[in-house]
Chain A
Amino acid sequence: MIQISHLRKTYDNGLEVLRDVNATIGRGEVISIIGPSGTGKSTFLRCLNLLESPTGGSIIVDGQDLLSKQTDVPRLRRKMGMVFQSFNLFNHLSVMDNLCIGPVKLLGKSRKQAEARAMELLEMVGLAEKAHAMPSQLSGGQKQRVAIARCLTMNPEIILFDEPTSALDPTMVSEVLGVIRTLAKQGMTMVIVTHEMHFAREVSTRIFYMDQGVVYEEGTPEQIFDHPQHERTRVFINRIRNYHYVIRSPRYDLYQLQGGMALFCTRYYLSEHIQHQVQLLAEEVLQVIPLDKGEVDLALRYSEECHTISLELLMPPGIVTVWKSPQFAPDALSLSIIQGLCDNIIESVDDTPEGPRVRLIFNLKQNEQ
């Protein structure tokens, strides 16, 4: 349906965002674009409907060259819906008018036809009762659902989602993802730029991992998430699946650490009880380990397959001898809490480019509550 070859985009200030993007998007595909921020994911998406004009390359949509002068771009855009991070509902129009303006003014439908279709779509996204509300009266999640419905009024053949949940309160993410999921089931062709890895994995037929201005690696969700081929992809996947924190001194920021852990837990829909336990575990472990002997890398890992959570610490070897030595009497209270929280504690020595490092893995008990 869409063939993209050698797409380039350089901004006026000389910043090269897209270097050489090649991709094809087939009918009925759901493609998630993931990758670190600043690697041109959104720019790539916005080039697909020419909200950004590419510096070079070609985009062929159903055999029509999007970049040719003869192409009626506004007409072509009607086939490509776009959902924005900031919703961009027309603020001066009611929900109903937001949904009718396209069909009435662009497709030449009667107001009555447009309203009937709009009502259908509002029902689909669960907002029929808000038909006469103004955008300012809606929550973020509701706005985004209306924006999706507005896209659908034009009967698009493909919908581009530009980080549709990034501006939302965590509690509202799922209602929007739910609607996108429904569209995926109906066979809508979609390209989604997202940071919701869990969702991307579940809903996509293919994943594009973008980095350094190119589609660095592409493949099925399993290929990308479980067996990434390239080093950069691996590092990225690893980073997003774990929560990392580096502790540099005994006066580390406990609240930042615990806050980050809480966010990680909500992202994976982990219960508050588990969140409480990982926070406690981290605090206790960091109490019994002297932190003035060098940097300690802390990682919180969650395995979706076996639903196990572990806290991993990577540290200079000197520290561990202290931890194990009989002279060092770790605080009995902390130790009993750690032991109470964990199934087992595994210790190993890793060879890293910076020399040998000791790895401590605390596997959290899963039988609680």
Chain B
Amino acid sequence: MKNIGKILLLLCLLTACGTKEDEHLSVYRNMDDLNGKKVAILTGCFQEEILEKQYPEVEVLRIDNAADMVQALVTKRCEAIVLDDYMVNYHSHSAKGIVPLEEPFVVAEMGVCFAKGPDTQLLDMFNAFLRQIKADGTYDEMYDRWMYHAHEAEMPHIPLSTDGKPLRVATCSTAPPLDFVKNGKLVGLEVEIITRFASSIGRPIIWSDMNFSSIIPAIVRGTHDIVVAGINITPQRQESVNFSDPHILCHTLVAVRQENAVGYALGAIDRVDATSFYDKVKDSIQRNIIDEDRYLMIWGGLKLTAMIALLACLFGTLFGGVICWMRMSRHTPLRRVASFYINLMRGTPVLVLLMIMFYVVFAGTSVDAVVVSIITFSMNFSAYVSEMFRSSIRSIDKGQTEAGIALGFTPARTFIHIVMPQAFKHVLPVYKGELISLVKMTSVVGYIAVQDLTKVSDIIRSRTFDALFPLIMVAILYFILSWIFAAILDFIGKKVG
């Protein structure tokens, strides 16, 4: 543990040193000044196309959430970011040193997405609801509270019905102040609107927190009824989903670092960080772990990661045993099937498999995303372990089996008493490696709205704008988790051996 401390310290020091001042600073007045520069944009947002068409010389950097975009700008991975005004407002409050250019990039309307189809009952109800809250002043109050005072804003208590068919709502919690996590709860302007809507029609809600890029597919596949994630109304999207009447008018802005903005003078802004390293770490712990009881969320993510890995390992091993048996069977069809399965699983990236399982195989069913994750990783793991089992069984000399059979054991008992214990010793080291890689592989489940350890760190980062600390923390947690798994395996190995 001492070593981990040292590594952590080193990493912290590296970032604490900060980046060097540029000798010659470019000044960006509008988009034309950014030609040939790197500009970051949210993956899958509609501005992407405008950016590419109107400014073909701009180098586009696609990033999955707003916090990472801000982070990319601050750490000089790009020169500017294209982001909606409310987000820029929100972030310039937390992350110092980014300013929007005066000229907006584009002005657009946002809407709530509903499934496409002839049945527009839910959509009509929502539009009616929207007209009503706009008329009675509820909307203005909410808008003011979230858009201008997001850091202090609280969700009011809105009673929800407990029975009735639940509304399945997908969102992307990395879009404050519309949708984000505070004190471990999903909050924000859109979250409040939808909650009020559900309350008004007397239905409970099931929220799914997903990546922005996979959110439209969710409604297209029919896994969700409503999607809210600050989605702009575009003709393209209208082909896939039905939009409600515009519920938010949004100005998309281009933000740059303060030193590149017009009117910036060296020393005009307080950039000197006088706080000591110790205070910085203390502050990071306070902000990332203690504030808003985030440790509960972290603990929840850790438990989920551990559970997915453990169950996937368990089922994967059992299923891997079956696949191995089929692969070594005397019957050619069984062998073929097993071989095909192994090649298929090993040749498919696990993330792609996960998406296919969630959006295609289990689309429209009520199977929980966590269960889908466990199934997916079990399948992946089984293919790898079955080959491990096979090679370790092969490595046992045929003479061992013959001696067992000659002694009077049946072939099955020979396998259990003679071959398996020896194969077990062979397979253990490789198996351990595979298990550790399984633990780490589960970090992609965030793509299908499972709030695991990695997803939790994304959420925390989007709130605290501390890129380093949550990532290091999560890295350490993964390391500890892998270490515990390996230790358990060693223990079992010793018991059996």
In the complex they form, whether A and B have CB atoms below 8 Å apart is answered with yes
Chain A positions within 8 Å of B, measured between CB atoms, are 49, 51, 74-75, 77-78, 80-82, 84, 86-92, 101-102, 105-106, 147, 150-151, 154
Interface size counted on chain B using CB atoms at 8 A = 18
A84 engages B402 (CB within 8 Å): yes
Whole-angstrom distance between the Cβ of B398 and the nearest chain A Cβ: 9
Whole-angstrom distance between the Cβ of A165 and the nearest chain B Cβ: 16
Q: What are 19 of the A-B contact pairs (CB < 8 Å)?
A: A51-B402, A77-B405, A77-B406, A77-B407, A78-B408, A82-B403, A86-B399, A88-B400, A88-B402, A90-B400, A91-B422, A92-B422, A92-B425, A105-B409, A105-B413, A106-B407, A106-B409, A151-B407, A154-B407
In the complex, A6→B129 CA distance in Å?
A: 94
Q: What are the residues of chain A within 8 A of B421 when measuring CB–CB?
A: 92
Query: Is residue B279 within 8 Å, beta carbon to beta carbon, of the partner chain?
Result: no
Query: Is residue B410 within 8 Å, beta carbon to beta carbon, of the partner chain?
Result: yes
Across the two chains, which residue of chain A brings its CB closest to B416? A105
Query: Is residue B417 within 8 Å, beta carbon to beta carbon, of the partner chain?
Result: yes
In the complex, A51→B425 CA distance in Å?
A: 27
Across the two chains, which residue of chain B brings its CB closest to A98? B403
Whole-angstrom distance between the Cβ of B441 and the nearest chain A Cβ: 32
Q: A92-B421, A92-B422, A92-B425 are in contact. Are A154 and B400 (CB under 8 A)?
A: no
User: From DSSP, what is the main secondary structure of chain B's interface residues?
Assistant: helix
In the complex, A88→B402 CA distance in Å?
A: 8
Query: Is residue B345 within 8 Å, beta carbon to beta carbon, of the partner chain?
Result: no
> Digit string of B407-428 for contact with A (CB within 8 Å is 1, else 0)?
1111001000110011001000
Query: Is residue B273 within 8 Å, beta carbon to beta carbon, of the partner chain?
Result: no
Q: What are the residues of chain A within 8 A of B163 when measuring CB–CB?
A: none
Q: What are the residues of chain B within 8 A of A74 when measuring CB–CB?
A: 405, 408-410
A154 engages B408 (CB within 8 Å): yes
Q: What are the residues of chain A within 8 A of B404 when measuring CB–CB?
A: 90
Q: What are the residues of chain A within 8 A of B418 when measuring CB–CB?
A: 90
A51 engages B407 (CB within 8 Å): no
Residue of A82, A88, A106 touching B397 (CB-CB under 8 A)? A88
Whole-angstrom distance between the Cβ of B154 and the nearest chain A Cβ: 64
A77 engages B402 (CB within 8 Å): no
B400 engages A91 (CB within 8 Å): yes
Whole-angstrom distance between the Cβ of A328 and the nearest chain B Cβ: 59
B397 engages A75 (CB within 8 Å): no
In the complex, A95→B421 CA distance in Å?
A: 16
A84 engages B403 (CB within 8 Å): yes
Q: What are the residues of chain A within 8 A of B422 when measuring CB–CB?
A: 90-92
In the complex, A235→B397 CA distance in Å?
A: 37
Which among A49, A74, A81 has the greatest number of chain B C-beta atoms within 10 A? A74
Whole-angstrom distance between the Cβ of A200 and the nearest chain B Cβ: 22
A102 engages B399 (CB within 8 Å): no
Q: A74-B409, A77-B406, A77-B408 are in contact. Are A101 and B400 (CB under 8 A)?
A: no
In the complex, A154→B403 CA distance in Å?
A: 13
In the complex, A86→B400 CA distance in Å?
A: 10
Q: What are the residues of chain B within 8 A of A106 when measuring CB–CB?
A: 407-409
Q: What are the residues of chain B within 8 A of A150 when measuring CB–CB?
A: 407
Whole-angstrom distance between the Cβ of B392 and the nearest chain A Cβ: 13
Q: What are the residues of chain A within 8 A of B410 when measuring CB–CB?
A: 74
Q: What are the residues of chain B within 8 A of A77 when measuring CB–CB?
A: 405-408
In the complex, A115→B403 CA distance in Å?
A: 20
Residue of A82, A89, A101, A105 touching B406 (CB-CB under 8 A)? A82
Across the two chains, which residue of chain A brings its CB closest to B421? A92
Q: What are the residues of chain B within 8 A of A90 when measuring CB–CB?
A: 400, 403-404, 418, 422
